[in-house]
Amino acid sequence: MTTKDIDIVPTYFTTYTNKVPDDLPLLDALETYGIEYLTAQKDKYEEIGDQVYAPGKWSIKQALVHVIDTERIFAYRALRFARGDQSALAGFEQDGYAAEAKVDHRSLESVLDEYAAVRHSSICLYESLDDEKLQRHGTASGKKVSVLALGFMTCGHIIHHQQIIEEKYYPLIA
């Protein structure tokens, strides 16, 4: 299934789903924007280190841990909805999560290893779902969303943050 098959996605999250090519099936998108997508940038990430482009902004490691946290939350939501759970799920405060992540003691390598593990887990989850389960939906953060949309939101979210890194952080080492 591709982004064209998404039937329920909150308007805000189309910012992410629209970043994924229309003809790319979900499992291919999860692979394409997986660990190799990030490790291709590893040298630049290391050169930037803990620099930020403006006061109060996240470092690259903080941004990547935010992506990891968000992917875990999206996958949890997808699992619940795919299994038929119709309980409304609460949102999360990304800035609070980022502050609690305390990434200063972590190496970039450990963050990338965690990303690889989380993405592998997400791929396994989505591989286990048939089309009927991908079209199921539930409510999270007060908005209806489909399992399929959550998968593509996961992909678009990393694209979004990589675009910010390229635009805002790469000039720090130019």
Residue type, 79: L
Collapse the DSSP code of 80 into the 3-class scheme (helix H, G, I; strand E, B; otherwise coil) and give the result.
Answer: helix
For the stretch 123-166, pLDDT in tens is: 999 999 999 999 999 999 999 999 999 999 999 999 999 999 99
Report the 10 Å Cβ neighbour count for 111: 22
Which of 55, 77, 93, 96 shows the shortest CA–CA distance to 139? 77
For the stretch 17-70, pLDDT in tens is: 999 999 999 999 999 999 999 999 999 999 999 999 999 999 999 999 999 999
Which of 135, 60, 167 shows the shortest CA–CA distance to 68? 60
Q: Give the CATH number of the domain where residue 121 resides.
A: 1.20.120.450
Whether 140 and 89 have beta carbons less than 8 Å apart is answered as yes
The domain of 38 spans 3-173
- Indicate the number of domains in the chain: 1
Model-level pTM? 0.96
| Start-to-end CA span in the chain (Å) | 40
CA-to-CA distance for 164 and 29, rounded, in angstroms?
19
Whether 65 and 103 have beta carbons less than 8 Å apart is answered as yes
